[in-house]
Each structure stands twice: as C-alpha cells, then as structure tokens.
Amino acid sequence: MTTLERFFDGDQSALARIISFVENREEGYQTVLSRVYPKSGKALRIGFTGPPGAGKSSLVNNISKVLASEGKRVAVIAVDPTSPFTGGALLGDRVRLTDMPIDGSIYIRSMATRGSTGGLAAATGNVAAVLDAFGYEYILIETVGVGQIELDIVDACDSVVVVLVPESGDAIQTLKAGLMEIADVFVVNKADRPGVDNIVMELNMTLDIRREKSDWEHPVVATEAINNKNTDKLIEKVKNHVEFSKTSGRFESHRKAQIRKKIYSILAFNVNGMIREKLAHLTDVDRAVSDIYQGKSDPYTVSQELLKLSDIDLSFS
Amino acid sequence: MTTLERFFDGDQSALARIISFVENREEGYQTVLSRVYPKSGKALRIGFTGPPGAGKSSLVNNISKVLASEGKRVAVIAVDPTSPFTGGALLGDRVRLTDMPIDGSIYIRSMATRGSTGGLAAATGNVAAVLDAFGYEYILIETVGVGQIELDIVDACDSVVVVLVPESGDAIQTLKAGLMEIADVFVVNKADRPGVDNIVMELNMTLDIRREKSDWEHPVVATEAINNKNTDKLIEKVKNHVEFSKTSGRFESHRKAQIRKKIYSILAFNVNGMIREKLAHLTDVDRAVSDIYQGKSDPYTVSQELLKLSDIDLSFS
C-alpha cells in the first residue's frame, strides 16, 4: 500500500507523513493535494486570533477537549510564533499537553512560521485540507493577529474568533489591526482581571455599527481560559455562527471565494517557481545587479530584459 | 515641466505626488520608478521594529530631530498599524507633530497597511527609493515586528534597530519572532521602568552567541524616548554599525542581495498581474469553483487547465 492509500485508510502515521510532505512542498506534493482535496470540505475551520499573550492556546486547548468529549475528532493548527506550541518547537523542546487524550481524537500540529514568506497561508490551508480529508471534523487554527499573512490565514476559516484581554486600548488596537472586520465572535479572556466590563462595553459599542449592517449579532463572550470558565458558552456561540452562516448562504459564498483565491495562488506559486528557476541559470543577473548598485541601471528595466531572455513557456503542455 | 522633472528639481509637491503615484501603483508607475532608481542609493535606511507600544514612534521622532539639527535631511516612513502616525491616519485624523521643524528637513509618510497583501514590502521599498532619489539622507522606517512582511521591510534596511521594553518575557518573545537574527542594535526603551537591568542582562547573554560569530558587537542601549534620554548614544551606535558594515563589505553585499530580491519581486508581480487579468475573463473559473466546492475537482487540476486556456505570453515582445 502506498502512503496515500494508507492515509485514506485512516493510518495515523501516514497522516503525519502526508502533512510533512505537503508542508515542506516535497517533489510531487501538488499531485498528493489534488488527490486529497476532493475528500476535504466536511470539516469546520475555526480561526482564533488576537494579540500575543491573550491566552489563545489555553482557549483552543479547552475547546478541543470539550469537542472531543462530544465525540468529535478535533485537529489544532498553531501558526502563532508566540504560541507555546510553535514557540516551544522553535526553541527545540516539545509541547507537553499531559492532560490531552491519547486516543488520537485531538491532533495538534504547529506550522513553521519562518522562511516561508508568501507561502505560509497557503501551507496552512493545505495542511487543513489534509486533516479535513483524513476525517477531522473541527480544525481549530490559532494565529497571532498582527501581520497580513496571519489575517489571511484566519480569513480562510468558516468562523473567526478574536481573543482580547481586558487591558486598556486593546479594542482600539484591534480595530486598527484589521481584526474587527474579520471577527465573527469576540472573546474577552482573563475575565478575572479588572477592566473586563469596560472592554466588553467598548466592544459592544463598536460592534453596534457592524451589527446594524448584518443579521449576525456579533457576540462578546467573557472567558477565563485558565479556569476553563465559559468554554461551553463560547463553543455555543461559534456553533450558532456556523448555523447562521449556512442558513444565510454566507458559508457557501465564502468557501467559494476561498477556492477562487486558492486557484489563483497555485497559479502564481507555480509560475513564480518557474521564473525563479529560469533566473538562477542566467549569469546576466550578477552583472545586472552590479549595474543597478552602481546606478547604471534599474530593477524595472532589468526585469523586463530578463523576462525576454528567460523565454518562459507557460503552456504546461 | 512634467511632475518628474519638477521632482528632480527638488519640488516638494512633486515629491508628494510621485510618492502617491508609486504607492497606489497608478498606470505607468514602473516607468517612473525606472527613472527614479538610478538616482537612489545614497541615503542610509535605518529600520526600527519591535512590539506595539514599545515607543518606536517617539524614538524615531527624537532621532529625526537630532539628525535634522546636524543639517541632515530626514524622511520617516511609518508602516506600523499600531503607530500613532499610521493608526491616526487609519482612524481618519492627522498626525500633529507640533514640535517638528517646518522647513521640510523632516518628511513623514505613513504607508497604508491593509489591502496590500504581498505588495506592502515592495511598496515601502519603492517609496524609500523615491525619498532617496529626492535627496533625503536618512530614511527611518518604523514597523511593528511581528508578521513576515514586516520583517521583510526592516530586513531591506542597512541597519536594523530592535526596540524592546523592560517587561518580562520580551527578550524571549523577540527571539521567537525572528527579530533577534535581523537586529544590529538593540534598544530597551522606557528605561525608567523597573526590570531594565534584567532585560539588558538577558539580552547581552543571548547576544554573546551572535557576537562570537560576528565582528560586530551588537550593542544594547537603554533609552527613555519620552524624556529624549540617550537618543545621541543610540544614533552613535547606529552610525557605528553603518561604518562597520561598510568596512566589512556587508553593506554592499546586503544591498546587492536586496537588488536581486527586488528584480525577482518585480518579475513575480508583473507575471501575477498578467495571470490575474487573463483569469478574470475566463467564465470557466466559476464553473470550476463550483466543481471544487462539490468535491468533483480540485484546485491543482483546475489551475493547470486554466493555465493552458489562458495562453499567457511572457515574452514581453
């Protein structure tokens, strides 16, 4: 049996192999993905984002355990460089989630967040598709909501949870960082700290404008992830949003928009790869770089010249 | 006289026009840039990055005034969505820097940080090239150091200053976020707060490994931007780094590497634009999206089919 056959057969070690294969873009990964994609689409993708230290990991941890206790298969993808999952991996040690079930009902994967400019959002989507096709019913994607790539990642989810803490200014910072527009459910975590009422009120006031334009009543849930408080309530709100989204048609239109983006990004990725490969063999590049450095030419003129030289054939025939 | 002629003549309003033109990628902006680039290259680009709220803007503000008092022409580009510069602009009001000289010796520009996925780093580089060609001698680029795009922006600078505050865990967070590798000078701002000695010590210990591998003794400067304390010392360290960099040959090799990246990014951008345009006119895309949504196809197969259909001619002839 091939690894892919074992994967479709439910073999957990084949899953790990396929994920690495896809994440590292090994030779032939696109062929594997073209086999995997048609089997995906059943899982719900829930994105969690917010400033570093807001407690996203603890929250995701709690939620995954509740969903698992409901008999659901849950996968967690951590794309947050400040997450104990990913951060731990970067620092060379491992996540120890000693209270996690060992029956494979919860699968945790961290994505490398460096050296993958432009490809991180795509790689995260691919890993999610693999987990989806494998049979995970919930895919919880955790990312720190600051950069554009991170926003792209959660925007690809069916529901987006933005996690804040009751510190002054957070709501405004969130607004500025573009999180407000993409959030479906808001969480104020660490609700035992002072200032909770203020930020909940501030959020509700800001959200009133959005609520007027939408049939969805963006909820604000106050949680204490560390004490596992209000996890159920948050899950209920997320499920409500998915229901609302399906009924209103937004679910389908959003997924189709994501597919369209995906097609485009594959095209761009493949064409860029061809360009990079062609250019690597052109000795003229070194001379051109020196010319530009000395002010004798410019990168726009050079790129046009190189394109002529490279004679790229895009017909894929 | 054309706008470009007035620009080369030192006309400040032509500068503003050219910057907007380039930033918004208006029709013909690449031709303008190909004229501008050969005149650029003299300015020093100093990048400032670090977590939101570390006081980067105040620091950049102080530095620009000191450099201006030395008779230098200084431009500031703010790419930080949490910056009072950019954030202010996003919220619809204006920066009021009442203590700034009004003779045009300091120029401040904020970059839009949304709706420009993949293009923000390129756009920032282009605006820097325009300011450079116009005659600004220092270009101070401020960005929040979390996302990959933001790292790319400061990595394109000749010297990178990482700004931290004396809060526990910051040094480790910085390390994780990939800032450590790109920093040339470290600042611990808000040095009036408790914990300064600890973070300075922690940083120095972490830096010892890097210092051993390099001839550059990465300095750590404690500042109080709000009281304009140690601004001179920081400027001295940055100037030292530029000197070191020029002597060691790193300055030239780093700039040439940036030029190479620029050529590649122009090629990728132009080719991607062509693909996007071709695809927009293909009705087959809608049908393909529906097929994929229903699990009847996959985006990899579709993208290959579309590429065949699009028949893109890359010869630029």
Q: What is the pLDDT of residues B73-115, one digit of tens each?
A: 999 998 865 544 444 333 332 343 445 555 667 888 888 665 4
Containing structural domain, residue A18? 1-39
d(CA B11, CA B3): 9
Q: Which residues of B touch A84 (CB under 8 A)?
A: none
Question: B103 and B211 share a domain?
Answer: yes
Question: pLDDT tens string for chain A (317 positions)?
Answer: 899 999 999 999 999 999 999 988 899 999 999 999 999 999 999 999 887 778 888 999 999 999 999 999 999 998 865 544 444 333 332 343 445 555 667 888 888 665 444 577 888 999 999 999 999 999 999 987 666 677 788 889 999 999 988 874 555 565 555 677 788 999 999 989 888 888 888 888 888 888 888 889 999 999 999 899 999 999 999 999 999 999 999 999 999 999 988 998 888 888 888 777 777 777 788 889 999 999 999 999 998 888 776 655 544 33
pLDDT value at residue B241: 97
Among B206, B64, B44, B256, residue whose Cα is nearest residue B131: B44
Question: A98 and A175 share a domain?
Answer: yes
ipTM of this complex prediction, to 2 decimal places = 0.80
pLDDT value at residue B87: 40
Amino acid identity of residue B210, one-letter, is R
The answer to whether residue A257 is domain-embedded is no
Question: B9 and B109 share a domain?
Answer: no
Residue B181 has pLDDT above 70, yes or no: yes
Identify which of B51, B289, B303 has the shortest CB distance to residue A256: B289
By C-alpha distance, the chain B residue nearest A174 is B82
Q: Nearest CA to CA, how far is B77 from chain A (Å)? A: 17
Question: B256 and B240 share a domain?
Answer: no
Q: Which residues of A touch B167 (CB under 8 A)?
A: none
Per the model's pLDDT, the better-predicted residue between B132 and B171 turns out to be: B132
Question: B80 and B35 share a domain?
Answer: no
Last residue of a domain, one of A248, A274, A292: A248
Paired strand residues for B162:
B49, B186
pLDDT value at residue A208: 85
Among A93, A89, A92, A71, residue whose Cα is nearest residue A79: A89
Question: B231 and B92 share a domain?
Answer: yes
DSSP A263: H
The answer to whether the CB atoms of B148 and A114 lie below 8 A apart is: yes
Q: Which residues of A touch B288 (CB under 8 A)?
A: 263
Question: A18 and A71 share a domain?
Answer: no
Identify which of A31, A90, A120 has the shortest CB distance to residue B148: A120
Interface contact B311, partner A, CB < 8 A: yes
By C-alpha distance, the chain B residue nearest A317 is B308
Question: A154 and A293 share a domain?
Answer: no
A110, A113, A182, A271, best to mutate vs chain B, most B CBs in 10 Å: A271
Question: A219 and A276 share a domain?
Answer: no
* CATH code of the domain in which A105 resides: 3.40.50.300
Question: B309 and B164 share a domain?
Answer: no
Half-sphere exposure of A191 (CA within 13 A, CB side): 19
Question: A177 and A71 share a domain?
Answer: yes
Residue B303 has pLDDT above 80, yes or no: yes
A115-A119-A123 Cα angle (round to 5): 105
Burial bucket for residue A136 (CB in 10 Å: 0-12, 13-18, 19+) = buried
Last residue of a domain, one of A197, A220, A248: A248
Per the model's pLDDT, the better-predicted residue between A202 and B171 turns out to be: A202
Question: B204 and B68 share a domain?
Answer: yes
Among B49, B45, B86, residue whose Cα is nearest residue B180: B49
Domain total in chain B: 3
The answer to whether residue A166 is domain-embedded is yes
Global pTM value: 0.71
Contacts 24+ apart (CB under 8 A), A114-119: A114/A81, A114/A90, A114/B148, A114/B178, A116/B148, A117/B148, A117/B149, A117/B152, A118/A149, A118/B118, A119/A25, A119/A269
Most confident of B18-32, B170-184, B240-254: B240-254
Contact A45, A128 (CB under 8 A): yes
Per-residue pLDDT tens over the stretch B213-251: 888 999 999 999 989 999 999 999 999 999 999 999 999
Interface of B with A in 235-274 (CB under 8 A): 252, 255-256, 259-260, 262-264, 266-268, 270-272
The answer to whether the CB atoms of A148 and B252 lie below 8 A apart is: no
The answer to whether the CB atoms of A178 and B285 lie below 8 A apart is: no
B146, B151, B250, B285, best to mutate vs chain A, most A CBs in 10 Å: B146
The answer to whether residue A255 is domain-embedded is no
Q: Nearest CA to CA, how far is A50 from chain B (Å)? A: 12
Per the model's pLDDT, the better-predicted residue between A307 and B26 turns out to be: B26
